[in-house]
């Protein structure tokens, strides 16, 4: 008897993109949302800064947001996608208001309450809507609350997607998604879930690096799922390193928001001297790639463990009211940011490349969508501007919903074969997974990090080939678990990053290589597009 579970729409991922899409579709369809761990474990929940959005109707404000985004993207943004995204800004914030989300406000000169706007790196003006310094948490909890109450939304925590099911894999000529094989990690049972529409909203791939601001779940699952199913992947060389991650043995990679620099925080050396003015006229408000490389250079030049971010010159009440979460977290580690600077280092933060989509979030496979950080829409180019990520989640959830609601969902889905475990056994060598996981993340950090070279990339490529063979063999012979699934996906992501980095013979945005340190002005900027081999 088949274990097949049928839905109209399956959404893999429970962050801002996935839950927004679910809420936009649930009045019309039966929707299931798969969450690899708890609903609050995604990157959205931990986002601090805010959402960049033009809330007035002035065309100059829209044009300014577009210009800033394109400048940050270092020549690789799609101008049409940038304009589309920016023009959806107010609509996106209105949607969140409707879901019950509250934003930080203040009284204007007329005594009226208006939204407080932050300014962050790359932005030429204040346009960051936020909820103190915990915007992602507020957004997540609002969407979870609404989704929990909706009768047509099934929230499935601790469900890890194994592979997409496509018609082509079942022997049909058309290339269409039919569903997903899913591991219920609590029961350790594999479920077969079918749907005419599947949306990948799994976030980024930054756990491929040893040091990251991301939560444990950011293992590139969606990119790997789409690649194995036959989707093109673009611009994976552009991995953004957030300049300011708390440096502390007990800090657990806590992010220090870009907004701290936006409100006057200064990057300094241990002797108190500033250094960003030597790298960019915008100093602390330069785009993240410039700031991260500057910090990396200073750490290596002076043999430091970290640099420092100092906002202690601001009034204590100002700091506590603007950055309550950061203040409390640092205080737990005996760092009083009202009195002393914060030790910081760069850490892997955001995946600017991903699954190629069009302006409606459609991928190369019919019925399959990709939204949020997992997708390459053309918005971010070679470097994402601060706080454009949550905006992208909301905008492309809306665009995908518009397209999905127009589709014919009546065509029947064939019976899908259940997951076959008859040829595998339980493993008694779990140490292999842990060792390979650690080795992969270490050589990616050492060889494919903020500053690269062809020699380092080739060294990483060689090490990766050995790991790929070991993990493939292990996957074929032993029963799956979440650690194995994540390692299998991380190896694919690492391969895509290395191949993309080797293909780009220039330094642009987030990709900096010592062998080609200059921007290649001899030809127009091009995306790095990788196509899966035919089955």
CA angle, 347 then 348 then 350, to 5°? 135
- Among candidate residues 290, 287, 284, 288, the one with its CA nearest the CA of residue 262: 284
Q: Please, are residues 218 and 203 in contact by the beta-carbon 8 Å criterion?
A: yes
Other CB atoms within a 10 A radius of the CB of residue 147 amount to 23
b vs e for 8-45, b when ≥16 Cβ sit within 10 Å of the residue's Cβ?
Answer: bbbbbbbbbbbbbbbbbbbeebbbbbbbbbebbbbbbb
Structure tokens given for 40: 């609050």
Annotation says 126 is catalytic? no
- Among candidate residues 4, 14, 17, 361, the one with its CA nearest the CA of residue 154: 14
- Cα separation, 516 vs 505, whole angstroms: 6
Structure tokens given for 237: 């060389």
What pairs with residue 311 in β-bridges? none
- Among candidate residues 74, 29, 155, the one with its CA nearest the CA of residue 519: 74
Q: Please, are residues 392 and 21 in contact by the beta-carbon 8 Å criterion?
A: no
Q: Please, are residues 11 and 155 in contact by the beta-carbon 8 Å criterion?
A: no
In eight-state DSSP terms, residue 385 is P
Kindly name the residue from 127, 288, 384, 504 that is annotated as catalytic. 288
Structure tokens given for 21: 């899409």
Structure tokens given for 300: 């290596």
Structure tokens given for 206: 């930054």
Run of H or E including 487: helix 482-503
Q: Please, are residues 190 and 202 in contact by the beta-carbon 8 Å criterion?
A: no
Helix (H, G, I), strand (E, B) or coil at 226: helix
In eight-state DSSP terms, residue 176 is B
Active-site amino acid positions: 288
């Amino acid at each position: 008897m088949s274990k097949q579970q049928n839905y109209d729409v399956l959404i893999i991922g429970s962050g801002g993109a996935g839950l927004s899409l679910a809420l936009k579709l649930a009045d019309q369809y039966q929707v299931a949302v798969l969450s690899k761990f708890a609903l609050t474990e995604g990157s959205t929940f931990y986002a601090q800064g805010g959402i960049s959005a033009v809330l007035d109707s002035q065309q100059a404000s829209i044009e300014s947001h577009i210009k800033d985004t394109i400048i940050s993207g270092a020549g690789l943004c799609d101008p049409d996608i940038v304009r589309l995204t920016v023009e959806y800004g107010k609509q996106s914030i209105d949607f969140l208001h409707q879901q019950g989300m509250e934003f930080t406000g203040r009284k204007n000169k007329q005594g009226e309450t208006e939204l407080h706007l932050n300014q962050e790196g790359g932005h030429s003006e204040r346009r960051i809507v936020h909820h103190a310094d915990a915007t992602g948490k507020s957004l997540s909890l609002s969407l979870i609350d609404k989704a929990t109450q909706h009768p047509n939304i099934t929230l499935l925590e601790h469900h890890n997607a194994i592979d997409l099911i496509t018609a082509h894999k079942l022997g049909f000529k058309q290339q269409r998604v039919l569903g997903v094989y899913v591991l219920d990690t609590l029961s350790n049972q594999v479920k077969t879930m079918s749907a005419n529409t599947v949306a990948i909203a799994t976030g980024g791939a930054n756990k491929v690096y040893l040091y990251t601001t991301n939560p444990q779940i950011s293992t590139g699952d969606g990119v790997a799922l789409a690649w194995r199913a036959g989707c093109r992947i673009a611009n994976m060389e552009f991995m953004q390193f957030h300049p300011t991650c708390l440096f502390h043995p007990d800090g657990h990679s806590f992010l220090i928001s870009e907004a701290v620099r936006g409100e006057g925080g200064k990057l300094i050396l241990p002797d108190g001297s500033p250094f960003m003015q030597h790298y960019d006229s915008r100093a602390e408000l330069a785009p993240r790639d410039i700031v991260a490389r500057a910090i990396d250079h200073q750490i290596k030049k002076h043999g430091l463990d970290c640099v420092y971010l100092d906002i202690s010159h601001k009034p204590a009440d100002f700091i506590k009211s603007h950055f309550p979460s950061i203040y409390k977290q640092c205080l737990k580690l005996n760092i009083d940011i009202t009195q002393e600077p914060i030790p910081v280092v760069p850490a892997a933060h955001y995946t600017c490349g991903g699954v190629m989509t069009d302006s409606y979030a459609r991928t190369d496979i019919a019925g399959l969508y990709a939204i949020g950080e997992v997708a390459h829409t053309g918005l971010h180019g070679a470097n994402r501007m601060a706080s454009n990520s949550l905006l992208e989640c909301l905008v492309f959830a809306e665009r995908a919903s518009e397209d999905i609601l127009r589709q014919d969902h009546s065509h029947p889905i064939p019976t899908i074969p259940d997951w076959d475990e008859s040829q595998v056994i339980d493993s008694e060598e779990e140490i292999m997974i842990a060792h390979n996981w650690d080795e992969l993340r270490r050589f990616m950090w050492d060889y494919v990090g903020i500053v690269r070279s062809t020699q380092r990339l080739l060294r990483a490529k060689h090490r990766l080939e050995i790991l790929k063979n070991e993990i493939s063999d292990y996957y074929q012979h032993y029963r799956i678990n979440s650690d194995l699934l994540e390692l299998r996906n991380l190896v694919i992501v690492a391969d895509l990053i290395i191949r993309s980095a080797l293909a780009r013979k220039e330094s642009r945005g987030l990709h900096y290589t010592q062998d080609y340190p200059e921007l290649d002005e001899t030809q127009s900027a091009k995306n790095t597009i990788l196509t899966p081999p035919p089955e």
